[in-house]
Amino acid sequence: MSTPYVRFWYAIAVAFIAVVGIATAGVVYTNYVQKQAEHRAEVARQESDRRWCSLLVDIGNSQRAVPPKTESGKRFAAEIDRLRHEFGCPEK
CA 53 to chain centre: 19
pLDDT in tens, 37-70: 999 999 999 888 888 888 888 888 888 888 889 9
Amino acid identity, position 5: Y
Domain that holds residue 61: 4-87
Count the domains in the chain. 1
Q: What pLDDT was estimated at residue 1?
A: 54
> CA separation (Å) from 33 to 25, 55, 83?
12, 34, 32
Q: SS3 of 49, please?
A: helix
Give the N- to C-terminal CA distance of the chain in Å, as an integer. 84
Position 92 in a domain: no
Q: What pLDDT was estimated at residue 70?
A: 92
Q: Which residues contact 27 (CB under 8 A, 6 or more apart)?
A: none
pLDDT in tens, 21-38: 999 999 999 999 999 999
CA torsion 37-42-46-47 (nearest 10°) is 0
